[in-house]
Structure 1
Amino acid sequence: MYQQIFDPVLGRLGLSALVAAIPLVVLFVLLGVFRWKAQWAGMTALAVSIVIAFAVYGMPITQTLGAAGYGAASSFLTVIWILVNALWIFKLTESTGHFAVLRRSFAGVSDDQRIQVIIIAFAFGALLEALAGAGTPVAISAVMLIALGLPPFRAAVASLVANTAPVAFGALSVPITTLSKVTGLDFDTLGAIAGRQTSIVAVFVPLVLVFLVDGRRGVRAVWPAALVAGLAFGAGQFVFSNFISVELADIGAALSCAVFLVAFLRVWRPREPLSVSSTPVMAGGSGAGSAEEEAAMLARGERDTRRNVILAYLPYAVVIAIFVVAQFSAVKSALGSVAIEFAWPGLAITGPAGNPVATVFSFNFLPAAGTLLFVAGVITTLMLKVPPDRAASIYATTVKQLTWTIVCVLCVLALAYVMNLSGQTGSLGRGLATLGGVFAFFSPVIGWLGVAITGSDNSSNALFGAVQVAAAQQTGLSPELMAAANSSGGVVGKMISPQSLAIAAAVVGLQGREGDIFRKVIGYSLALLLVIALLVFLQSTPVLGWMLP
């Protein structure tokens, strides 16, 4: 039996927290400064965390390695299975030329690439986050942005930045549900507070996306549309999370954003649109949407038939429909009835107070997001009339393309579990919780760190929700505010998590450049984190205390 300890370094929590931070510092320095490939940075950080767990925290080496194996195994359904099947669906549509049709259809909504990025990465991505969560929005929106002509690097960055504000309410608000369970606080109150925080962040995100695509010139040109999109999304998220349904907050926000933006574009258009470039969809792709072919179509005055347009949209309509059906109580119960659960061999851990730490491995295969995407992929092959042998060949090519990404994800999830189960993560969270009244400012930072480590707002809430409440009680702050701040701070940590970086790099064909992507997004992540931290701090004072329910 291994008992966690949070202050192993001379009995000092502060020193222990500094030591516990070393694996994360190693990971981010190797990625951002030395530009190592994500898989090697992940392996190195994992090795460092194992040494610290064994040599500093006293975790037996067998249990340390068991924790790493537990984390690696947990990554299959939560990340790898999703990534493989999301990219497979894209490659199916790419190989048949339907993705080029989809690109031309989006150009019909607006011929401005900056606005199209808002529609796809922000509004449509939020809808995918609401239904599926995990890495699905990043994977699908990134490849769709490439189909619109965005360079792969810019598409990866835009998809990561866009996947922020919806994260707290992803997968029908599973992170808020988890937060309520681990803290014992009211679900609706937590959702309402989170909605009053993330909805403000949402206003800025479309402006950031426009800046990413076209710099200051783009912001000057289309700021009215970006502002309408951000305000509509924020308003929808606020109204749904506070007055209608926390579970439907992202769906309401995404639909509100799309409706108001499309309506606004009927009466306003940018003076100088940024036209969509017609470039091949992806290196090594079929070239079905190549510049030469599309130029020839335009010269002949041809347009895509209604049938082809419908077929281009159908795979994504199927994805949405399947996830909606999977949320019905009867369906969810049936799919979850075959889950396999067992205690992970060799792991016997208790917390500092002697309470057992759960190490139950759950293989809930049928309702997993990756399985639902696989079903959508099979239906796509039938709708697009892709021969079975060709579909299987495309699947094998997809897996081969993602080989190093899979290695990276395995290492990073193993790192997260070693840090969590050994007590390193607990040291970090409790170290920040000793800051007194100023803790309100750093409360979102804990959530940000949690998501950066685990890649999941849900996991971050499970890890640090109780820590936030305990710190609030010690400092006289609102437990509900601090708990919600954990989730809100976590949403802007999603873009720098190694899992998200690996997914974004893989789907756009930039494996090995995760460090470059990290260097690009870290500034935006920190800037948005500062906004949330200041907001939460002011909400803990009379200045903005009136914002709380």
Structure 2
Amino acid sequence: MLYTLLALAPILVVFVLMVVMRRSAKLSMGVAYVVTALLAIFVWNTQSAVVGAATVNGLITAITLLFIVFGAVLLLNTLKVSGALVAIRQGFMDVSPDRRVQVIIVAWLFGSLIEGSSGFGTPSAVGAPLLLALGFPAMAAVMSVLVIQSTPVSFGAVGTPMLVGVRSGIDNKADVAALISPMQPMEYLQQIVENVALIHALTGVAIPLILCGLLTRFFGANRSFTEGLKAWKFALFAGLAFTVPYYVIAVVLGPEFPSMLGALVGLVLTVTAAKKGWFLPKETFDFPPREQWESAWLGTLNMEQAQSTSHFSVIRAFSPYVIVVALLIVTRTFPAVKAFLTSPAATLKLTNIFGTSISSSAQFFYSPGFILILVSLVCIGIFGMTLQQYGRGVKDSVVTMISAAPALLLAVPMVQVFINSAAADGSLNSMPLILAQSAAAVAGQAWPNFSPWVGALGAFIAGSNTVSNMMFSYFQFSTAQQIALNIDQSAIVVALQAVGGAAGNMICVHNVVAAGAVVGMMNREGEIVRKTLLPMAFYGIQAGLIGQALITGHMVWGVAAVVWLAAFLFIMSMNKGRAVVPMPA
């Protein structure tokens, strides 16, 4: 119990400082790093060389994230300077002026398409600036792109969280191989994949509706969650338009394409429906006039330049984003291209840092940041820009990246030390594993309800569903065996791990910092997490209830899931805030 409480200390430090006290991420993560390093060295007896190596690995990872942030902001600034953002904004307005419809199309569907092709926080880097360009408050843009980083995440980056995360977690384990026999590991992985897709589909179908409610609750003139629910027909249609093909593709094709192709199908169906006026709410929702926006809604990026006229067509203006998606798909799905960009010659690598087993690498040519920078250069030709104009965009982007750097350069090393904190003599497991083992000891037969939260904890700590699955998949399988579940039921428990790990991306510090940075919202991470914590809690509880229903076969758990959804929507609709009053922005 003592070690459990001590292992919880770094997470509590982050939560109290950043969420409760609303301190900046750089302060919160700086204090958390010191606490984690001291616990690792003096309580866990982790070798100081391991702490140092984990720190270096974290710094390198943070630099790769900053590279993505720079690329995303540079593309946004390029579009702004060229005047293309005006045409993009008008194009979405022509589909529908309703902000609820826009957030579903851009965040839920276009964001899921980006997640399916690239993952690793790219939807935030691409989607948040696009929403900002459409006239969304910066805080609303960040909240929206983080909320959708749930359902598509398990099959993001062409299935990496499953093919790398879950597979490496349970592969080459003698007890797993013996228990699943005569199935092969890949057959068992496919069984897990189908369960993941089913649980995500049943849970995620409500996310567009919840997203609409959060948008109107926090950023509407009336501060009413119910105002978002009035778009229920279109929201549920958009939910089904993505999750139904998503599940079918997972069953038929496996883990590589559910998010990518499911979102593509959903995007075509939903945009068509919006243009034809199907399922649209009777009243159009818009934000209050800009002069009435609260200062807390705003970032430092100035988009007012994008409100002039533009002579570009919508297709021409939006073409950079099409090129981004196309290049992401090509570099992730064509083996020869991927092999070239990830070859040793294109990889910066440090092996056995400080004599430890920890290694680190960076593949900048394979990074989404490189693609975003490349497309920003292509924009010079597409929009006939001058080098002076492009240089202005580069300068503004560098300023934004530098502002985001301190938080990430402290957050990621803290995470790496936390993960690599096992005792040198093997007497103590790492801090996250001790937390998971303690949770399993308390939960007992109710473990499936707790399983998603372990996955979410892993993602919150590591900043990655893939890493969370690598850390905890085997632990989840073993725990399922300890509570006497059969192999099919154990596959559901491991699936709940992957689902929870995906939901944890909504509050993951890495994603929050990066998403805030690309719209100029530094040092406001606690405010963001306070908003995304609500849908993350819904997702974790709902997934656990659905998992229990699938494992036990008892209808009562399915009914409980329906009741929980209704209760969540009801509680949120009753929780009204103060109306917006005019104040200086």
TM-score by length of 1: 0.88
Counterpart of 1:520?
531
Quick one: structure 1 residues 65 and 341, their matched pair in 2 at CA, closer, same or farther if it must change by over 3 Å?
A: closer
Provide the secondary structure at the position in 1 that maps to 2:360: strand
Q: Deviations over 1:337-360 (max 9, x none)?
A: 223444232253xxxxxxxxx522
Contact 2:57 2:359 (C-alpha < 8 Å) held by counterparts: no
Counterpart of 2:304?
287
In the TM superposition, residue 432 of structure 1 has moved relative to its aligned partner by 2.2
Counterpart of 2:129?
143
Provide the secondary structure at the position in 2 that maps to 1:362: strand
Quick one: structure 1 residues 188 and 315, their matched pair in 2 at CA, closer, same or farther if it must change by over 3 Å?
A: same
Counterpart of 1:418?
417
Q: Match for 2:32: what amino acid? A: A
Provide the secondary structure at the position in 2 that maps to 1:94: helix
In the TM superposition, residue 544 of structure 1 has moved relative to its aligned partner by 6.6
Which one of the candidate residues 155, 159, 163 is aligned to 1:169? 155
In the TM superposition, residue 263 of structure 1 has moved relative to its aligned partner by 3.7
Counterpart of 2:208?
206
Q: Match for 1:500: what amino acid? A: N
Contact 2:60 2:362 (C-alpha < 8 Å) held by counterparts: no
Q: Deviations over 1:297-354 (max 9, x none)?
A: xxxxxxx65x532221111011011112112011111212223444232253xxxxxx
Counterpart of 1:240?
249
Quick one: structure 1 residues 420 and 76, their matched pair in 2 at CA, closer, same or farther if it must change by over 3 Å?
A: same
Superposed, which structure 2 residues align to 1:261-276 within 5 Å?
Answer: 261-265=270-274, 266=276, 267-275=278-286
> Distance in 1 between the 2:273 and 2:360 partners?
49
Contact 1:67 1:417 (C-alpha < 8 Å) held by counterparts: yes
Tell which deviates more after alignment, 41-50 or 382-391.
382-391
Which one of the candidate residues 333, 338, 351 is aligned to 1:332? 338
Q: Match for 1:334: what amino acid? A: F
Counterpart of 2:581?
none
> Distance in 2 between the 1:496 and 1:289 partners?
30
> Distance in 1 between the 2:207 and 2:134 partners?
20
In the TM superposition, residue 521 of structure 1 has moved relative to its aligned partner by 1.5
Counterpart of 2:266?
257
Quick one: structure 1 residues 398 and 156, their matched pair in 2 at CA, closer, same or farther if it must change by over 3 Å?
A: same
Quick one: structure 1 residues 433 and 276, their matched pair in 2 at CA, closer, same or farther if it must change by over 3 Å?
A: closer
Contact 1:94 1:285 (C-alpha < 8 Å) held by counterparts: no
> Distance in 1 between the 2:469 and 2:75 partners?
31
In the TM superposition, residue 152 of structure 1 has moved relative to its aligned partner by 1.4
Contact 2:169 2:474 (C-alpha < 8 Å) held by counterparts: yes
Q: Match for 1:496: what amino acid? A: I
Contact 1:322 1:376 (C-alpha < 8 Å) held by counterparts: no
Counterpart of 2:327?
322
Supply the RMSD in Å over aligned alpha carbons. Answer: 2.3
Tell which deviates more after alignment, 60-69 or 153-162.
60-69
> Distance in 2 between the 1:216 and 1:479 partners?
38
> Distance in 2 between the 1:23 and 1:260 partners?
45
Quick one: structure 1 residues 546 and 32, their matched pair in 2 at CA, closer, same or farther if it must change by over 3 Å?
A: closer
Q: Match for 1:497: what amino acid? A: C
> Distance in 1 between the 2:528 and 2:305 partners?
28
> Distance in 1 between the 2:540 and 2:557 partners?
22
Superposed, which structure 2 residues align to 1:54-453 within 5 Å?
Answer: 54-77=41-64, 79-178=65-164, 179-184=166-171, 185-186=185-186, 187-214=189-216, 215-265=224-274, 266=276, 267-275=278-286, 283-285=300-302, 287-290=304-307, 293=308, 307-326=312-331, 327-337=333-343, 338=345, 339-348=347-356, 358-422=357-421, 423-434=430-441, 435-453=443-461
In the TM superposition, residue 199 of structure 1 has moved relative to its aligned partner by 1.0
In the TM superposition, residue 367 of structure 1 has moved relative to its aligned partner by 1.6
Quick one: structure 1 residues 92 and 271, their matched pair in 2 at CA, closer, same or farther if it must change by over 3 Å?
A: same
Counterpart of 1:501?
512
> Distance in 2 between the 1:74 and 1:237 partners?
31
Identity of aligned residues (%): 27
Provide the secondary structure at the position in 2 that maps to 1:289: helix
Counterpart of 1:456?
464
Tell which deviates more after alignment, 133-142 or 170-179.
133-142
Provide the secondary structure at the position in 2 that maps to 1:272: coil
Where do 5+ consecutive residues of structure 1 fail to align? 1-13, 295-303, 349-357
> Distance in 2 between the 1:112 and 1:515 partners?
28
Provide the secondary structure at the position in 1 that maps to 2:523: coil
> Distance in 2 between the 1:169 and 1:67 partners?
27
Counterpart of 1:6?
none
> Distance in 1 between the 2:400 and 2:434 partners?
38
Counterpart of 2:34?
47
> Distance in 1 between the 2:252 and 2:167 partners?
18
Q: Match for 1:65: what amino acid? A: G
> Distance in 2 between the 1:408 and 1:374 partners?
23
> Distance in 2 between the 1:469 and 1:90 partners?
44
Q: Match for 2:541: what amino acid? A: L
Quick one: structure 1 residues 69 and 283, their matched pair in 2 at CA, closer, same or farther if it must change by over 3 Å?
A: closer
Q: Deviations over 1:64-97 (max 9, x none)?
A: 23222222212222x2211110111011101111
Counterpart of 2:563?
none
> Distance in 1 between the 2:160 and 2:322 partners?
23
In the TM superposition, residue 403 of structure 1 has moved relative to its aligned partner by 2.0
Q: Deviations over 1:27-63 (max 9, x none)?
A: 0111111110111101011111001101110113333
Quick one: structure 1 residues 455 and 315, their matched pair in 2 at CA, closer, same or farther if it must change by over 3 Å?
A: same
Quick one: structure 1 residues 124 and 331, their matched pair in 2 at CA, closer, same or farther if it must change by over 3 Å?
A: same
Contact 1:149 1:278 (C-alpha < 8 Å) held by counterparts: no
Provide the secondary structure at the position in 2 that maps to 1:365: coil
> Distance in 2 between the 1:220 and 1:360 partners?
48
In the TM superposition, residue 282 of structure 1 has moved relative to its aligned partner by 6.8
Q: Deviations over 1:372-425 (max 9, x none)?
A: 222222222332233334424422321222324222112111111101111112
Contact 1:126 1:137 (C-alpha < 8 Å) held by counterparts: yes
> Distance in 1 between the 2:481 and 2:517 partners?
43
In the TM superposition, residue 216 of structure 1 has moved relative to its aligned partner by 3.2
Aligned residues: 512
> Distance in 1 between the 2:537 and 2:36 partners?
24
Contact 1:62 1:346 (C-alpha < 8 Å) held by counterparts: yes
Provide the secondary structure at the position in 2 that maps to 1:27: helix
Q: Does residue 34 in structure 1 map to residue 21 in structure 2?
A: yes
